Chains A and B, each alone.
Chain A
Amino acid sequence: LSDRSRTSDDPRRLAIPWIVAFDTLWLHAPSDADPRVPAQFWRALSSAIGTAAVSVKADPRSAEFFSRRREALISAASAALSEGRIDTLRSLEDMLVGEAEWKDVTEHLRALSGSAGSETPETSLAWLSGQIRDRSHRRELSAADESQAARIDYVAAALMAAWDAMSDGPRGAEAYRAVQIMAESLFDLHMLGSAGDTTTYDELQHEVTRSAPSARPVKVKIVRPGVRWSDGIRNRIVIKATAEAV
């Protein structure tokens, strides 16, 4: 079909009879047939006909196929949800990514979990919760390297703001301590240096504020600490410490 479609002026003309024929076959399929088959068929077909898939899907002659495909998907997803088969749910998700039907399926699953209550396995509920919460942003990227996650920047900025507040009195010091513990325990963020300390200059850790006698100072005095991320093996400087040459 792929080769023929490419040479045809109207791939839709070829695709519609295929859909109608498949729908007839599916209607007579054994009751234990894999309900994902119609979705897999459409995936292969739409991949072969490219942009014509949009008009094929909108054609009234294919309406029954898409209706049955939707029912089959909901049936497959519902069974997987109630049995806690997350791998199956993920394979359906992969198959339908970018298609409007996936929203229908997750809406149905939400209604199902609400009515089934405690019968739905906890793993299924956690997966479904992620789907609902992130529906409009499911394609956001995750960082392969934890130190590059955007949340690290937010926590580092909060840590420095808390460090500034430390000089405001006992309450400020307590607030700083609380933020510091959170940053260390949950985000692997640590203060880099202490104000007033003198240390060997390291261009990767220190930003010199005042002109040094030589281009590269040997020793520096920390004016303002920085923030470092470390998971125990890898180390990354998130904010350099500000220092003066001594």
Chain B
Amino acid sequence: MASATESSSKQLQRLYDALAGEGVMSDTLYLGIDWGTHSSKWVWARGARAEFKILRSEVRLDNDHLLLSADAPPSGSVFMGGLKKQLINNPSTPFWGGLQRGMRLSLGELFAFSLWRLMSEAYAAAPRVASKQPDLLEIRFSLPNWVDIDSGAVGRATYEQAARVACNIFVADRTSWVQEQQPRRLVWQKRVSRALDELGISDDLPIDHHPQGFRTLLKQECKINDNTRFRFVAESSAAGLTGLLRSDQEDARGVLKILVVDVGAGSTDIGYLLKTKQALCQLPPANTCQIAGENLSRRILDIYRSRGRQISFDEAELIKTTGSETGWRKHPTVKDWINAIAEHVREYVSVVTDKRWLPYQPGLFVFVTGGSGVVPGLDKALLDATIDGLRSQKISAATVRGTKGLTIALRGPLAAR
């Protein structure tokens, strides 16, 4: 729980920065939904105020009532976790049609429930501190790096469908969650069925397999009604926006190039962001690297247990993220972990395609973030790997020399180093 909270707080900070990057207006209520493998988060933002909450991603069915909870499902309860993996691993399985064993709901109905539940609670939480009703409701869903793989295309398309269905149900009655926080399974099925009919969504709709599908989805803005809209933000770019927003490193032309390395709990995501005076561009990110924060926490756990201290995994996570102890940092297994991520960075940078800006000055900034981005030595190794990748692209020596780490004044957990 603690580990999920720590890394998720940072993900939320980035999601919020993504919202703030668009200019958070006081007459607009922003709802950010980050639906993850293990934990899911909502954030609402209005004017200068914002609040978040983290829930477990497992959808539970307690006495035929559907719910998400901040706590792990108790033993013996009926629940379904790993929905994202289900979708990626079974792209040919009907999304709205087939019922999942035990839950007796389709994957689509479970997806839509998760999204509806998260946005409804965020919406309900917002007015507690903001007096005036917002004129406009902007919803943002974080989009995982489902990029090149074929199952990614199915994931993107069905995720978008689930978001449309969830928004449709949400706008029909924004307060329905407050009135009935754990709807009955059959009630939820009926709501989804009605939304599918209204929206014309079914498993028969064609899937966009185009390689540019990821970019296309990020550019789309979906209007639900006159005062409610939603769109997707790429997880890797949301991470990089923290760097863009808090940096004053642009050159005289306002150009800033950032390589974002987001070392999250279950995966390390790498993306390339470019900001000019005219536009903010995000290139397709690297395929996800499975060596990430949880893997390092396991290694720290092993180090301490081999020394006779029977710490738990939760404590290993806190030792890593809060910087409360340093005895593990120089262990060879930590070096191996750093090298594995550095190799992934080198591979990405050696193939990233930006012929207009990357070869020329200013240099590239390397921004390391995420729950495990605080590991000493990681930023230096990733900078070296980036430089190696640029050299393999035959980028000019002057531009390579200008490549450096992006240091941003931080405090709190982000500064735990």
Contacts and interface: CB of A to CB of B under 8 A. Distances in A.
Given A97-B26, A161-B325, A224-B312, A150 B6 contact: yes
A154 B315 CA distance: 11
Nearest to B136: A47
A237 B2 CA distance: 8
Residue from A97, A148, A237, A240 with most neighbouring chain B CB atoms (10 Å): A148
B13 A240 contact: no
Given A157-B319, A157-B324, A204-B74, A145 B53 contact: yes
Given A47-B25, A224-B310, A145 B16 contact: no
- Chain B interface residue number, banded: 35 or more
Contacts of A207: 312-314
Nearest to B41: A148
B53 A157 contact: no
A52 to B, nearest CB: 13
A95 interface: yes
B72 interface: yes
Interface in B50-97: 50-54, 70-72, 74-75
Interface of A: 43, 47, 93-95, 97-98, 136-145, 147-148, 150, 152-154, 156-158, 160-161, 164, 203-204, 207, 209, 223-224, 226, 236-242
Nearest to B245: A139
Contacts of A157: 315, 318-319, 322, 324
Given A153-B2, A204-B74, A236-B71, A98 B24 contact: yes
Contacts of A242: 310-312
A138 B51 contact: no
B125 interface: yes
Contacts of B48: 93-94, 97, 138-139
Given A139-B20, A153-B5, A204-B74, A223 B51 contact: no
Residue from A97, A138, A152, A236 with most neighbouring chain B CB atoms (10 Å): A97
Contacts of A223: 310
Nearest to A223: B310
B17 interface: yes
Contacts of A154: 322, 324, 413
A141 B52 contact: yes
Nearest to A216: B75
Interface string B170-195: 00000000000000000000000000
Nearest to B409: A136
Contact of A95 (B26, B74, B309, B310): B26
Residue from B6, B12, B311, B312 with most neighbouring chain A CB atoms (10 Å): B312
B330 interface: no
Contacts of A137: 411
A141 B24 contact: no
B1 A153 contact: no
Contacts of A97: 24-26, 47-48
A177 B395 CA distance: 59
Interface string B1-24: 110011001001100110010011
A136 B321 CA distance: 23
A153 B2 CA distance: 7
A43 B412 CA distance: 33
Contact of A239 (B2, B25, B53): B2
The SS class assigned to the B binding surface is mixed
A93 B71 contact: no
A141 B50 CA distance: 5
A150 B12 contact: no
B43 interface: yes
Residue from A139, A143, A160 with most neighbouring chain B CB atoms (10 Å): A139
Interface string B24-51: 1111000000000000000101111011
B312 A140 contact: no
A237 B13 CA distance: 23
B321 to A, nearest CB: 7
A153 B413 contact: yes
A137 B415 CA distance: 13
Given A153-B5, A242-B312, 10 more contacts: A94-B26, A97-B47, A139-B17, A139-B20, A141-B16, A147-B70, A148-B53, A150-B412, A239-B315, A242-B311
A138 B5 CA distance: 21
A203 B5 contact: no
Nearest to A137: B411
A212 to B, nearest CB: 15
Nearest to B72: A204
Given A158-B324, A240-B312, A141 B318 contact: no
Nearest to B279: A51
B305 interface: yes
Contact of B16 (A93, A139, A160): A139
Contact of B47 (A94, A150, A238): A94
> Top 9 nearest A-B pairs by Cβ distance?
A94-B47, A94-B26, A157-B324, A144-B53, A239-B314, A207-B312, A157-B318, A150-B413, A157-B322
A201 to B, nearest CB: 10
Contacts of A237: 1, 314
Contacts of B52: 141-144, 148
B255 to A, nearest CB: 17
Contacts of A164: 309
A145 B39 CA distance: 15
